[in-house]
Structure 1
């Protein structure tokens, strides 16, 4: 897939334009409506969101939008269902939220779709299927479903199948519970499509999709004395093609690559990816902002992207010493770390994603801003800057929704008091409007951005 550069470098218009927004654009937003995860399926025909109220909403690509020239990225609601309910652990006197932490699609094998969803403790496998026919002419029950008196059955009828209105049904096929002491932060399907991993703060478990009452602990970093705890697991993911490899990141800013062929318990990593810290730049906030909130392997499996509080790093799996590319996301916030610590924003966990061809990266920021970086042939900062790359700041806002099909205007933030006419001051940023969850269509230039209770869909006009 060919992607064109989409930034003029001066905060001008881009080739990205608004396509759709899902959800109400009202000021009154309930906590349960906040979107907590976004995920395209493997062909991009379906897009799923989970929210803090435990609901999963699935959108389907509009068939007519694919026939247009150029194609449009438009989606309609396909199915909505309640995935998780609030629970209470009476043994630990702990309330378990219904919030959906992650959604992962299985590759399609038949007419039905399957996905995994998880809250803090329980993972569920859902089957989403269509039904557009109904059976009539039963012998043992009435058309309404009530059983018939056998004495009144005087003749046998052959049931017939008739067309009916399309109905989309979501049914839970497996429930994987009671395997995590701490909150689940990641689930990842293996390339074999038979197993998957789930990770919490201190352990990673390996599951088989057909076995719900047993999992294998493959990583355990819990110390014998919890007072000696120095780091926690923040994210984990399987390699896209090698079923024996997986990576997990930590709050210390390290990423470990593990090989399940080496041992049943992967307490020893095969590779450790860590960037040496500059002792002159160390501060009270260094350990907090170096914590990795998300890690994603590229579709090719050669590279790996990690997101810490201030930026993105791209690693080559063959080089552990330092990242090959570094992309500052909001470096202008470095001078605001003290106030961000006081309002707890410094602990926000931003996610990141790759484009389908691994040439562009996307992640979120504050004030409704999200960033798109074009790798430019691997010439990012930290790789010597051999090739000029482009970077772009866009905004998911009502203003964008008011200008459908019009190119978005690139935004710029002024880190100092002096600012240009089209720039916004760092002191004017709204830290309540945070873009934590984003997703990129696997084959096309269509992106989904979750902004509080709204799902914005943008597309590259070219």
Structure 2
């Protein structure tokens, strides 16, 4: 579709009358690591990060134990040409399928002796880098250290043959040649590069009549099996004094940013011992601190543009061409407060926990505690759409504050075509919203093998405010919050929360993490 506002090719504009949004019916696809009923989940096994690569062929997850698990797509591996597909006696699945590929330990627990501070091994973020010569590169970070990993296929060397003649009778081989006792050559434990087997004189058997000849064993090694071998290429350390909450790759394939509470650093992928500080909001007196950085993201195509969000509910767009130090933003996206609506928890629930650019870079999706907001980078005053994720929890904010649930950081995701957005909630539920007016009701799904079971827990709330792009700032109300939605708020389990999810870049496939389990759903 050609966007009239930009004059170029891009995603459909929300609110345009010609936009047709197909209805999505979500179904269960796959599950990895699903726990049995009553099984206790270890803290280190809880998933803390999910990320698809740009092609959607690979998926990576990180957990609180510092491990990174990789999955690869399998439904496109067997048949690649149309002729081969026509000759097949069965059809390929209509949705992506994945299988476990490999895993590795990315981070270990550390201790900062200068600050007497324990550094957890938990993986905060994972980002895929550009693929080079068939090898996959990705960045992973915990609170303090960023690492680059290279995952490539290598052939495994195996011992396939030894010219050892099996013994006959009392250890005398056929042909009269002496041999070592067979128990010295237990091939079940022999492997290339393994422990050496040193023969003992007690195991040597002399044949009758002496030793007419001596035959040395010959090892035959073959490398036929392929396996993924991870290796740490670089360690980007000592760049942040506070906890890292975001990393994002640049479209130039040469640099990336990392953000903590007060600073954003720019790194070169080839240089690990230094970085350039581009944003610093730390005041000279920490008592004057009013906000912190919560998330940062590079523009998908403009290598000079990035956005970062704050705990005040604002999003700042900065252009690195304007100044080397980007403390001054080029655009500020902040919703205007309605008079008389401010209360005690306003500042807490306004904090943005995650932001995402759409594929074309025209829109920014943000998630605060209660809502999803879609912003047009050409309109700073108000979001063009607001989606209420769990509005019925508003009367329970006091209870959520007491048990610290109000500080949970939910992630958000946007579909590759820009027509749908999604984010998680409590009781392992997540919600999918259509972007355009007239789209289907918000869909509530449960992270289980029966996803539609979660619909009875609440009445779907279809809400939001759209701005008619052709008429300035006129508000169009899509619908009101259902009056019965608050009645079901008590059915929610606040200990089970779906914080992390990701949308496939090219298909309607969502991967989400419920505790230590990974679930996938397609539409």
| TM surpasses 0.5 | yes
Q: C-alpha separation between the residues in 1 aligned to 2:496 and 2:264?
A: 32
Shift in alpha-carbon separation, 1:323–1:186, aligned structure 2, 3 A: same
Larger RCO, structure (CA 8 Å, separation 6 or more): 1
Quick check: which one's strand share is greater?
Answer: 1
Residue in 2 that maps onto 1:4: 22
In structure 2, which of residues 273, 276, 279 is the aligned counterpart of residue 216 of structure 1? 276
1:230 maps onto 2:290 in alignment = yes
Shift in alpha-carbon separation, 1:418–1:4, aligned structure 2, 3 A: closer
Aligned 8 A contact 1:65 1:71 in 2:
no
User: What secondary structure does 2:458 align onto?
Assistant: strand
Aligned 8 A contact 1:289 1:309 in 2:
yes
Deviation at 1:135, TM superposition (A): 9.3
Deviation at 1:70, TM superposition (A): 4.2
Deviation at 1:24, TM superposition (A): 3.4
Residues 212-252 of structure 1 show CA distances to partners (whole Å, capped at 9, x for unaligned) of 01100000000000011100000000000110000000000
Aligned 8 A contact 1:5 1:390 in 2:
no
User: What secondary structure does 1:281 align onto?
Assistant: coil
Shift in alpha-carbon separation, 1:223–1:417, aligned structure 2, 3 A: closer
Q: C-alpha separation between the residues in 2 aligned to 1:202 and 1:452?
A: 29
Q: C-alpha separation between the residues in 2 aligned to 1:319 and 1:102?
A: 29
TM-score (structure 1 length as normaliser):
0.85
1:59 maps onto 2:110 in alignment = no
1:436-447 paired onto structure 2 within 5 Å: 436-447=499-510
Residue in 2 that maps onto 1:200: 260
Residue in 2 that maps onto 1:48: 60
User: What secondary structure does 1:121 align onto?
Assistant: coil
Q: C-alpha separation between the residues in 1 aligned to 2:356 and 2:238?
A: 27
Aligned 8 A contact 2:22 2:439 in 1:
no
Q: C-alpha separation between the residues in 1 aligned to 2:388 and 2:154?
A: 48
Residue in 2 that maps onto 1:434: 497
Q: C-alpha separation between the residues in 2 aligned to 1:342 and 1:173?
A: 44
In structure 2, which of residues 103, 109, 113 is the aligned counterpart of residue 86 of structure 1? 109
Deviation at 1:390, TM superposition (A): 3.2
Q: C-alpha separation between the residues in 1 aligned to 2:363 and 2:109?
A: 38
Unaligned runs of 5+ in 2: 1-10, 12-19, 80-90, 160-190, 197-218, 462-480
1:36 maps onto 2:54 in alignment = no
Q: C-alpha separation between the residues in 2 aligned to 1:424 and 1:60?
A: 42
Unaligned runs of 5+ in 1: 7-14, 137-141, 148-158, 380-386, 401-406
Residue in 2 that maps onto 1:24: 34
Residues 390-436 of structure 1 show CA distances to partners (whole Å, capped at 9, x for unaligned) of 31111112544xxxxxx77744515999969xx98211210111110
Deviation at 1:178, TM superposition (A): 0.4
